[in-house]
Amino acid sequence: MSSHNSYKRQTKRFISSKKLRVSVIGLGFVGLSIALVNSKKGFTTIGVDVNKEKIRNLKKGIPDFFEPGIENYLDYCLKSNLIKFTTNLEETLFNTDLTFVCVGTPPKNDGTIDLKYIKNAICDIHKILKSKKKYHLLIIKSTVFPQTTKDVVLPVFSDLLKKGLVDVVMNPEFLREGYAIKDILEPHLIVIGGNSKHGGQILEKYYRNFYGKLPEIIHCDPTTAELIKYANNAFLATKISFINSIANICQNLPGVDVNVISKAIGKDRRIGPLFLNAGPGFGGSCLPKDLSALINFSKRYDNTDMLFSAVEKVNKTQPIKVLNLIKKINLLKPSKTISVLGLAFKKDTDDIRAATSIEIVKKLIKNKLIVKVHDPKAMDNFKKIFGNKIIYCQTVDECIKNSDCCLILTEWDSYKKLSPQKFKKLMKKPNIIDARRILDPKKFSKLNLQAIGLGN
């Protein structure tokens, strides 16, 4: 009992300390963003990853993905000696007070998520914290299906939990690619799913130091926190598939424009305007993976996956709508040249994971069309998939020159500024399929502009 009381006194001092020392395990999109913002905020921060090449590059100021602001933050933190990158987990845990676990949970072929990286991480952490013998707060940021913290993570730390040496908190992230730093600095909500009231208090204290004025916080149990993340992403996916379903109806009604419908229903405060942009479907590292995992999890319980399965089905069939538009103008033929503007799943990222561009280009190649592509950031990642099967263009002009049809698949700001004259001058015939609805149909009325949800 006296030993347990000493741990309680230790953690009280831990809570009252001015600045907690932070470590981040897993330096992907989420982990690196969190590590850099923490270090710039003045927290002693150590970033850990098992990938030695990644660590070497980060020490040189080279991130392995594109995210607005990341390079500037990295450069500033390195020059100011505010952050350390290492592969040494033991040294890291001994020299920090709280750890964000941000390792990947990639999808399996059956739609479930692979927990091997988080299992490996927590086992390694447990071995080290057993010998540390000082209180440590473990914060799970990785997206895991409900009850993972309860059934997978907490049992590993049962001995340290009993002694009061560790608390585990599920603290889901809601970061958007392209806006990661902004979303960390200005969160709409913080969810703290603690295994104990104590761990939640310590994490709240950290956030109080981080923000000054505390954002809204919801305290709950870890399983609720896990399901909040899935529910959040499933709802966003539902909104996208909903408006795409409406767009597919619009496609058949002359003069009907889904953009007008989106604007109108978005004015209803019960609906809101966000994620009501019709397009070729959602992609990226979160929505498809999380929706698939939730469907798989929901199948454990009778008829709870029906809506989610429908949302996924709409999304998987949406790229076919783009191909149908090419077919409609009689250009889905061998040796026709198709220009593709935009490869990333959304603007302001180089991420092509589950991007609709991949499926569309695969089908164009299968139909023996000549494919030319352009993207401001994602072409290197695209080359890893398609190699020399397609033509990579450094400029938009090069991409659309002498092509029979141009597809716009990513809503990059630079594409929004393209003029009708450019297409008319450079293309064989100015056939444009605007899958992202970024061009003004009125300005392009003299060209053959086809668009998702535009009934011509």
Going by the DSSP 8-state scheme, the letter that residue 280 receives in this structure is: S
Give SS3 for 151: helix
Largest CA distance in the chain: 84
For 105-113, the CB contacts below 8 A with 24+ separation are 105/142, 105/143, 105/144, 106/289, 107/288, 107/289, 107/292, 107/293, 110/296, 111/292, 111/293, 111/295, 111/296, 112/145, 112/293, 112/296, 113/143, 113/144, 113/145, 113/289, 113/293
- Active-site entry in 102, 286, 405, 406: 286
| Contact status, residue 165 vs residue 7, Cβ threshold 8 Å | yes
- The span from the CA of 5 to the CA of 173, in Å, is 34
Buried b (16+ CB within 10 A) or exposed e, 76-106: ebbeeebbbbeeebeebbeebbbbbbbbbbe
Comparing CA positions, the residue from 75, 134, 72, 74 lying closest to residue 99 is: 134
Count of CA atoms in the C-beta half-sphere (13 A) of 353: 14
Give SS3 for 254: coil
Residues 6+ apart with CB under 8 A from 150: 222, 223
**Residue 344 falls in which region: left (phi positive, over 0), alpha (psi -120 to 50) or beta:** beta
Count of CA atoms in the C-beta half-sphere (13 A) of 415: 28
* Catalytic residue flag (residue 399): no
| Contact status, residue 65 vs residue 101, Cβ threshold 8 Å | no
What is the pairing mode between strands 136-140 and 98-101? parallel
| Contact status, residue 294 vs residue 311, Cβ threshold 8 Å | no
Give the angle 363-369-370 at the CA atoms, nearest 5°. 120
| Contact status, residue 408 vs residue 436, Cβ threshold 8 Å | yes
CA 19 to chain centre: 29
Residues 6+ apart with CB under 8 A from 107: 113, 114, 288, 289, 292, 293
Active site residues: 286
